[in-house]
Amino acid sequence: MTDATTVELSDVLDRLHVVALPMRVRFRGITTREVALIDGPAGWGEFGAFLEYEPAEAAHWLAAGIEAAYRPLPQTRRDRIPINATVPAVPAGDVAGVLARFPGAGTAKVKVAEPGQTLAEDVARVNAVRAVVPAVRVDANGGWSVEEAVTAAGALTADGALEYLEQPCATVPELAEVRRRVDVPIAADESIRKADDPLLVVRSGAADVAVLKVAPLGGVYTMLSIAGQIDIPIVVSSALDSAVGIGAGLIAAGCLPDLPYACGLGTGGLFVEDVAGPVTPVDGYLPAATVTPDPARLAALAAPPDRRQWWIDRVRACFPLLS
């Protein structure tokens, strides 16, 4: 069975396509999402580590892309996956337009704690979402201190419940303290995908929900291995992936024995254009299936030559770090 350690670098580079996907709104501080895609013998893989990530961290994302390209992915237990709408840190007045791109979604994840914004703006955005979607969760991306998180939890639940509060603070001890002090369930994301020990947050009793992402964890098989060692509910999310990466996430979610929460795999709606035609959710669900890019879209969205070379150099830097 092929894995990243038996693949030749030259073959990966020969199969590489680099695309630049325009975004509808600013997300994670960017308006264009660059990713490298690998047209492999087993399917398409995606290497989309964010630009600021150093090779040691980005290598996990490369391993995930190589896995999907060279190794057949596992069979799923279900053929469709419930997804949440994703609402960036937009003004409250823009919320309805964002949610319109997620037909049938019964859950929405709302970005909060955006640098330069206030808690009042977060509350207004969350309440605007509540007016449309019954279940709401928020994601702070580790942006608060413990005291700020406790205050925010109170303000954000004053007008309704939250399904959970995702990564309110950056560290595991801070998550544990917030969890002791608030009634809102705490979800961990960065404390899993950026950790040397992704299980530490669970062993420490610092989270009620584990958010797992295929690419940062090194691939579908690694994510499923970690999931098998976790005894709290799991939500599979994307890392602002293209349609190719979303497909891998949907397969991973489809393999889990239980899926009590909607997954964060509907982020394709954040792109103006993607490498495959849009798949519209049906009753809030997406099919658990991989994606093959449209050749015409690959050509139209191809990154400029200098950016393609940047990604080639990045693959070269990360490849020796694969384990």
- In degrees rounded to 5, what are phi and psi of residue 229? -105, 5
The one catalytic residue among 60, 71, 109, 111: 111
**Radius of gyration, alpha carbons of the chain:** 19
Do 98 and 90 form a contact (C-beta atoms < 8 A)? yes
In DSSP terms, 87 is beta-bridged to 110
Do 176 and 154 form a contact (C-beta atoms < 8 A)? no
> Is 258 annotated as belonging to a binding site?
no
Task: Give the whole-angstrom CA distance, residue 83 versus residue 249.
Answer: 11
CB-based contacts of 19, cutoff 8 Å, min separation 6: 34, 35, 36, 37, 242, 275, 298, 301, 302, 303
The number of beta carbons lying within 10 Å of the beta carbon of residue 31 is 11
CB-based contacts of 306, cutoff 8 Å, min separation 6: none
Task: Give the whole-angstrom CA distance, residue 162 versus residue 84.
Answer: 14
Give catalytic status of residue 111 as yes or no: yes
Among 56, 55, 54, 46, CA closest to 21: 46
> Is 166 annotated as belonging to a binding site?
yes
> Is 139 annotated as belonging to a binding site?
yes
Do 37 and 294 form a contact (C-beta atoms < 8 A)? no
The one catalytic residue among 15, 137, 213, 314: 213
Q: How many CA atoms lie within 13 A of 63 on its CB side?
A: 21
Among 225, 203, 222, CA closest to 214: 222
Give catalytic status of residue 213 as yes or no: yes
Q: Which residues are catalytic?
A: 111, 213
Where is the binding site, in residues?
139, 166, 189
Where is the binding site for Mg(2+), in residues?
139, 166, 189
